[in-house]
Amino acid sequence: MTPSSLARLLLVGAALAAVPALADKPTVVLPPIPAAKGVTAPVASGFDAHLRSVLGKQASVVDKAATTAALSAAGASDTCATDACGEKLATAAKVRFVLSASVVNNDEIYEVKLSLYDQALHKRTEAKKVCELCAVEEVDGSLTKALEDLEAPLAAAMPPKAPPKPVAPPKPAMVKITITTAPEGAEVILDEKPVGKTPFDGEVTAGKHALVIKKEGFRTQERDINALDKPVTIASTLVVDLSAGLNDGDEPGGDSLAPSPPPVAAVSGSKHTGVGVGMAIGGAVLAGVGTWLIILDGEITCDDGRGRTECPSVYNTKGPGIAGLGVGAGLIGASVATFILDAIAPEGPAPKPTVAPTAGADGAVFQLGGRF
């Protein structure tokens, strides 16, 4: 390997070794040092150049053009000595640190002040040096010493990144639901969870839900409901479960569906004799009339002496006669049946007919009861 090749290899190695160091350097934006009392603009510019040169040895400094553009974007002043200004300027320049510097001259007593704002830690550190009876060139040394006091803040490690805040899942949309039943007091079960009794007002998440309505003594109702973006209203009429086995006159659940008929006074003697006699007489009359009409059928209608060949029409009464005879015979038979019933009926009071309402699948059903 020639000496020139070895030299080139060493230079490349040194450059590669310097890459991590450059990457680890803090990034700083340095607003220009303004002219002040006893410090002209050219003198302030010289202080600024010296400070940039010294700062560049330990940090990556934004150049003057980019600094001017960042100051304009942040709407900041030349000094930018407040935390609010430092935050804006660091964001605009995309750096961590903002170093503000000022030099004031009072009768050859120079006061040098450096203020370092750390955006990562949201912290400001200041360093101050005083140079009495100093020449301008000596002030550069005060700037250097003041910057040395800021080496530790400039080398501060980055704070650990806060873990990302957990993102709460969006709250599901809720839909109002109203459930009523007749009768009330039925248990409401949504998605296998009891939620109350009717009348029920509540909310469910938007979507499909399984609804069950239960009440003792009534048929259980099951259905699926789709709760979308509008309130859901359900009105249901419960149906009596006839297979549950009702007590006499009692509704399932213990409430009386129909009150027992009040007691009636005892009735003595025959109960249907008058009815039987009336039906027997009426039946005999109708049977006689029917028989006469049957006999009359086919006879001529002329009453002026004309014979069958001369009379144009005859009586047609066979149909009504048969009907009358049949009805009469039926009434006579019914009267005989009433006499037989009276003969075999037990002694004692005959209860009056009663009418009791009963709930059915299609509405109210009236039951007629009694002894006739």
Distance CA 57, CA 88 (A): 25
**SS3 assignment, position 111:** strand
Express each pLDDT in 69-94 by its tens digit: 999 999 887 778 889 999 999 999 99
Q: What is the pLDDT of residues 157-196, one digit of tens each?
A: 888 888 888 888 888 889 999 999 999 999 999 999 999 9
CATH class of domain segment(s) 174-239:
mainly beta
Q: Where are the domains of the chain?
A: 20-154, 174-239, 273-302+312-367
AA identity, residue 152: A
pTM tops 0.75: no
Give a three-class secondary structure readout of 199-218.
Answer: CEEEEEECEEEEEEEECCCE
Q: Do domains 20-154 and 174-239 have the same CATH topology?
A: no
- Compute the distance between CA of residue 250 and CA of residue 219 in angstroms, rounded to an integer: 17
Q: What is the DSSP string of 60-82?
A: EEPPHHHHHHHHHHHT--SS--S
Q: How far apart are CA 69 and CA 124, in angstroms?
A: 23
Note the pLDDT tens digit of each residue in 307-326: 766 777 777 788 887 888 88
Q: Is residue 252's pLDDT more than 60? A: no
The answer as to CATH 3.40.50.10610 being correct for domain 20-154 is: yes
